[in-house]
A and B are shown apart, each in its own frame.
Chain A
Amino acid sequence: MSNLALFPIVIPLIFAAILMLFPKKLHMQRTVAIAGVVTTLASALILFSKVNSDGVQAVTLGSWPAPFGISMVSDMFSVLLVLSSTIVTMFVLFYSIPTIGVKREQSFYYPAVLFLMTGVNGAFTTGDIFNLFVFIEVLLMASYALIVHGGEKPQLRESIKYLLVNIISSALFVSAVAYLYSVTGTLNMADLAVKIPQIEAVGILTVIAVLFLVVFGFKAAIFPLYFWLPGSYFAPPMAILALFGALLTKVGVYAIMRTYTLFFTMNTGFTHELLAIIAILTILAGCVGALAYFDVKKIIIYNIIIAVGVILFGISQMNAAGVEGSIFYLVHDMLIKAALFLLVGILTVIFGTSDLRKMGGLIKNYPVFGWTFLVAAFGLAGIPPLSGFPGKLLIVQGGFEGTHFWGSLVILATSLLVLLSVVRIFIYAFWGEPARIKTINRKHYLSMFVPTAILVALTVVLGAGAELFMPFISDAGEVLLNPSLYIDAVLKE
């Protein structure tokens, strides 16, 4: 039995603990933080190749037999997400060094980022439902610290709401776990997947499934529960916003995908139908917001909500195309959302405002930046050679193969609105009459632009080389569609 699955969780934890010791030493903080993220990335890559060659990696902590200890399970799905979240954190870290400001850097900024990473990687890897709650609390606690970090007035005001919503959803999570425990008598996800089909009281399990949808829906910002996200994500600085936008809602999406494929499969006629309807409503609500605002941050924030809807629609179909599409789109969306937030962050630095109407004519001064932004925008909308295309294609195919062809039509139609919302940024900011811009140091600009451009290049590779990545995606999809693979790996003894 190998402990490899734990490394992407333990390494950032250790580095974060070390970083707490010398908050004021700027160079040390930066060096150790980067070392931590790079080591985590290396361990995630090793884990990835291990899972790819040997199948699902399961560790039950403390050598207890499987349902009694806490299991950590790394299948292809979770390792792909661990890998992409680590990549995103690395680039956001590079971007935050020039932008976040010395004062913030000296008050435990890097430890908070690494603790966030611990929580995110842990939530993706865990095989125990209560342990999932604990890891979600770890990442939420780090995110509370980050959202209010710096203590400006809008941050204080918005973080109150963010905290309150998450406290409520955490209490609901505890209640949902309590109900599930009273029905099944176990907390291990693989064991739950074995026990739930044996229970005849489908009604109570359906109620619990919907309760879990509410709980994770709060985290993932699905249709009626997304109200907190636009305001809260507007407050923190751009590097933190990129981290949140790329990672936090995706943990909720991952949890829905995991629970709805692994154990809540007893009444798909109701639960997955509900999921499909909510997903479509989420997309529509996101589109309304993305088109309504003239604020670059708001536009991308509402695009997070749209992507959550698209991914959940794919998973609600429960067929190979839909599930694989969701996984591809989830990985793509983590990378592209981080890239777009970082690009928009450079825009706001250059213009000194995030209002589109005060921008214009940037293509003359920053042509490379402009075309990079256009590539990222097309990638988000899903123009064929780029990374948004294969995922969306599979999701739409899944919808047509399943019973929800109308959902696929909505996704196709709203892709145009997504394209419109981001191309609007391009038209306003890069074309037209040049607006007044701030003179920024060439070196400062490059230190922000280079990590962002590499991230955009990565998404292009993901899209153009989709053939290369598809075997991994279908591996991941196979585990989701055949829970027995997952169950056998955990309960093999």
Chain B
Amino acid sequence: MEIVMSVAIGLLFMAAVYLMLSKSLIRIIIGTGLLSHGAHLLLLTMGGLGGTAPPVVADGVSAAEYADPLPQALILTAIVISFAVTSFFLVLAYRAYQELGTDNMELLRGTEDYE
């Protein structure tokens, strides 16, 4: 199962890199979304996919049956952080589109204030 997950994560990273290298800002933001999905799934996979019971203490479940709770907590933290950053990025892209009148990264190069 870890192999399948690794391949899926690799595909997500590949798609993210491809999108982030494109010209349109919105495609770049979609790329960052895929990148954080990949990172979160990697965290889950690297914690090990063993365990059949959810990590909630219940009667009649032995310790070995629980899934590892730590990666889940880490992912939850990473999800809210990337959610906050993505929403900031989207608003920034919207403002930049309003002010600069373009979403083409090629046209956002350099600074005209010097040289």
Q: Residues of A at under 8 Å CB distance from B?
A: 130, 133-134, 137, 140-141, 144, 148, 151, 153-154, 156-161, 163-164, 167-168, 170-172, 174-175, 177-179, 181-182, 187, 231, 234-235, 293, 295, 298, 354-355
Which of B20, B38, B71, B114 lies in contact with A164, CB distance below 8 A?
B20
- The reply to whether B40 and A174 form a contact with Cβ atoms under 8 Å apart is yes
- Please, which residue of chain A has its CB at the minimum distance from the CB of B108? A157
> Complex Cα distance A371/B68, Å?
62
> Complex Cα distance A174/B38, Å?
10
Interface size class of B (residues with CB under 8 A): 35 or more
- The reply to whether B111 and A234 form a contact with Cβ atoms under 8 Å apart is yes
Chain B, residues 3-21, CB within 8 Å of chain A (1/0): the string is 0000000000000000010
Q: A156-B100, A174-B78, A295-B114 are in contact. Are A181 and B46 (CB under 8 A)?
A: yes
- The reply to whether A160 and B92 form a contact with Cβ atoms under 8 Å apart is yes
- Kindly provide the distance from the CB of A115 to the nearest chain B CB, expressed in whole angstroms: 13
- The reply to whether B46 and A179 form a contact with Cβ atoms under 8 Å apart is yes
> Complex Cα distance A355/B114, Å?
8
- Kindly provide the distance from the CB of B40 to the nearest chain A CB, expressed in whole angstroms: 7
Which of A156, A178, A187 lies in contact with B99, CB distance below 8 A?
A156
Which residues on B sit within 8 Å (CB–CB) of A163?
85, 88-89, 92
- The reply to whether B43 and A177 form a contact with Cβ atoms under 8 Å apart is yes
Q: A157-B108, A164-B20 are in contact. Are A175 and B114 (CB under 8 A)?
A: no
> Complex Cα distance A154/B111, Å?
7
> Complex Cα distance A234/B112, Å?
12
- Kindly provide the distance from the CB of B2 to the nearest chain A CB, expressed in whole angstroms: 9
Chain B, residues 83-97, CB within 8 Å of chain A (1/0): the string is 011001100110110
- Kindly provide the distance from the CB of B19 to the nearest chain A CB, expressed in whole angstroms: 11
- Kindly provide the distance from the CB of A424 to the nearest chain B CB, expressed in whole angstroms: 16
- Please, which residue of chain A has its CB at the minimum distance from the CB of B2? A182
Which of A154, A171, A182 lies in contact with B47, CB distance below 8 A?
A182
Which residues on A sit within 8 Å (CB–CB) of B113?
154, 234
Which residues on B sit within 8 Å (CB–CB) of A295?
114-115
Which of B85, B93, B96 lies in contact with A167, CB distance below 8 A?
B85
- Please, which residue of chain B has its CB at the minimum distance from the CB of A230? B111
> Complex Cα distance A235/B35, Å?
27
- Kindly provide the distance from the CB of B111 to the nearest chain A CB, expressed in whole angstroms: 6
> Complex Cα distance A221/B20, Å?
20
> Complex Cα distance A144/B86, Å?
12
- The reply to whether A298 and B99 form a contact with Cβ atoms under 8 Å apart is no
Which of B36, B38, B74, B108 lies in contact with A177, CB distance below 8 A?
B74
Q: A175-B42, A182-B47 are in contact. Are A156 and B35 (CB under 8 A)?
A: no
- Kindly provide the distance from the CB of A102 to the nearest chain B CB, expressed in whole angstroms: 21
- The reply to whether A137 and B42 form a contact with Cβ atoms under 8 Å apart is no
Q: A144-B88, A153-B99 are in contact. Are A171 and B39 (CB under 8 A)?
A: yes
- The reply to whether B81 and A137 form a contact with Cβ atoms under 8 Å apart is yes
> Complex Cα distance A176/B42, Å?
10
- The reply to whether B32 and A151 form a contact with Cβ atoms under 8 Å apart is no
- The reply to whether B20 and A158 form a contact with Cβ atoms under 8 Å apart is no
- The reply to whether A159 and B46 form a contact with Cβ atoms under 8 Å apart is no
Supply 30 A–B pairs (Cβ within 8 Å), ascending by A: A130-B77, A134-B81, A137-B85, A141-B88, A153-B99, A154-B111, A156-B92, A157-B108, A158-B111, A159-B92, A160-B89, A160-B92, A161-B108, A163-B92, A164-B28, A167-B82, A170-B85, A171-B32, A171-B35, A171-B38, A172-B39, A174-B39, A174-B74, A175-B39, A178-B45, A182-B47, A182-B48, A187-B70, A231-B111, A234-B114
Which residues on A sit within 8 Å (CB–CB) of B25?
160
> Complex Cα distance A140/B46, Å?
26
Which of A157, A231, A293 lies in contact with B100, CB distance below 8 A?
A157
- Please, which residue of chain B has its CB at the minimum distance from the CB of A182? B46
- The reply to whether A160 and B43 form a contact with Cβ atoms under 8 Å apart is no
Q: A167-B35, A168-B20, A174-B39 are in contact. Are A156 and B96 (CB under 8 A)?
A: yes
- Kindly provide the distance from the CB of B83 to the nearest chain A CB, expressed in whole angstroms: 12
> Complex Cα distance A381/B10, Å?
46
> Complex Cα distance A160/B45, Å?
31
Interface centre among A141, A170, A171, A298 (most CB of B within 10 A): A171
- The reply to whether B96 and A141 form a contact with Cβ atoms under 8 Å apart is no
Q: A164-B20, A178-B39, A182-B47 are in contact. Are A151 and B114 (CB under 8 A)?
A: no
Which residues on A sit within 8 Å (CB–CB) of B95?
151, 156
- The reply to whether B88 and A134 form a contact with Cβ atoms under 8 Å apart is no
Extra contacts, 13 of them, besides A154-B111, A157-B96 (Cβ < 8 A), are A137-B85, A160-B89, A160-B93, A163-B85, A171-B39, A174-B39, A175-B43, A178-B43, A181-B46, A181-B47, A181-B74, A234-B114, A293-B115
- The reply to whether A168 and B85 form a contact with Cβ atoms under 8 Å apart is no
- Please, which residue of chain A has its CB at the minimum distance from the CB of B9? A175
Q: A157-B96, A167-B85 are in contact. Are A178 and B46 (CB under 8 A)?
A: yes
> Complex Cα distance A321/B32, Å?
42
- Kindly provide the distance from the CB of B15 to the nearest chain A CB, expressed in whole angstroms: 13
- The reply to whether A167 and B47 form a contact with Cβ atoms under 8 Å apart is no
- The reply to whether B111 and A171 form a contact with Cβ atoms under 8 Å apart is no
Which residues on A sit within 8 Å (CB–CB) of B38?
171, 175
- The reply to whether A151 and B99 form a contact with Cβ atoms under 8 Å apart is yes
- Please, which residue of chain B has its CB at the minimum distance from the CB of A234? B111
Which residues on A sit within 8 Å (CB–CB) of B105?
160
- Kindly provide the distance from the CB of A235 to the nearest chain B CB, expressed in whole angstroms: 8
> Complex Cα distance A181/B38, Å?
16
